[in-house]
Amino acid sequence: MSEPKIEGYKFKPGYSGMAADTASDQTMFKGVHWGKAMMWIFLLSDTFIFSCFLISYMKGRASTPVEWPNPSEVFALNAFGVPVPLLLIAIMTFVLITSSGTMALAVKYGYERNRKMCGWLILATALGGLTFVGMQAFEWSKLIHEGVRPWENPFGAPQFGSFFFMITGFHGTHVSIGVIFLFIYAYKTFAGHYDEGKRGWFTSMKGDYVEIEILGLYWHFVDLVWVFIFAFFYLW
């Protein structure tokens, strides 16, 4: 890892040097954009939200008196007449992880000031997210059709429905918010706001390609959380 170059500042070696750098004046994280630092801390806070959800889920699942339904049966999908466990969810996960890749590329092209490529890749990411939300809506309606509700569940413990709809719903909301911002940022990229440093509508701060990286952090986080939700709901 190469350290950022800060005018007039020399990074010090070793652990004590690291402590000294951390405690030095002006900034703790040298060369890190304010917005990026903010997003990291926000994501830390958000991690605690999802952790609370998942720990509650574990506790709820462990203490319910009724049998927990078997996920590979509940989430199976009929493909050509054969029930394939976790088919839809595998596709959903694939789409979402792929969209992380396009997002990373968008950030790269953004910093290269390649406005077109950056814009298209953001759009591709947004479409990936949209597909994910769409498939989740399909899965929800399938479960609802089969009689699963937040308050009841024909396959076993009613808490299954409660936790499933709440946690995937909360995650889906995150994805949807991300998609909305991706569309806005795609527009702003194509319109050249980041090249000109045009001021934002609300915040009146100058546009910069770093914003795309910040949104990218959020997007990768949402993907990462999905991996955990996937593991806890579908594989356990």
Binding residues for another protein (CB under 8 A): 6-9, 22-32, 34-35, 37-38, 41-42, 44-46, 48-49, 51-53, 56, 59-60, 63-66, 150-151, 157-159, 161-163, 166, 199, 202-206
CB of 210 to another protein, least distance (A): 13
CB of 110 to another protein, least distance (A): 20
Nearer to another protein, 60 or 101 (CB): 60
Token pair of 83 as six digits? 């029930």
Nearer to another protein, 138 or 151 (CB): 151
Quick one: DSSP state of residue 28? S
Nearer to another protein, 71 or 119 (CB): 71
Region of residue 120 (phi > 0: left; psi between -120 and 50: alpha; otherwise: beta): alpha
> Contacts for 107-113 with beta carbons within 8 Å, 24 or more apart?
107/212, 107/213, 107/216, 110/189, 110/194, 110/209, 110/212, 110/213, 111/209, 111/213, 113/195, 113/209
Token pair of 150 as six digits? 């937040």
Nearer to another protein, 56 or 98 (CB): 56
CA distances from 74 to 53, 188, 191, 230 (A): 21, 42, 46, 14
CB of 102 to another protein, least distance (A): 27
The total of other beta-carbon atoms located within 10 Å of residue 49's CB is 12
Q: Using an 8 Å Cβ cutoff, are 111 and 127 in contact? A: no
Angle between helices 158-190 and 210-230 (to 10 degrees): 160
CB of 29 to another protein, least distance (A): 7
CB of 50 to another protein, least distance (A): 8
CB of 157 to another protein, least distance (A): 6
Sign of dihedral through CA atoms 219, 143, 75, 56? positive
Nearer to another protein, 56 or 131 (CB): 56
Nearer to another protein, 83 or 146 (CB): 146
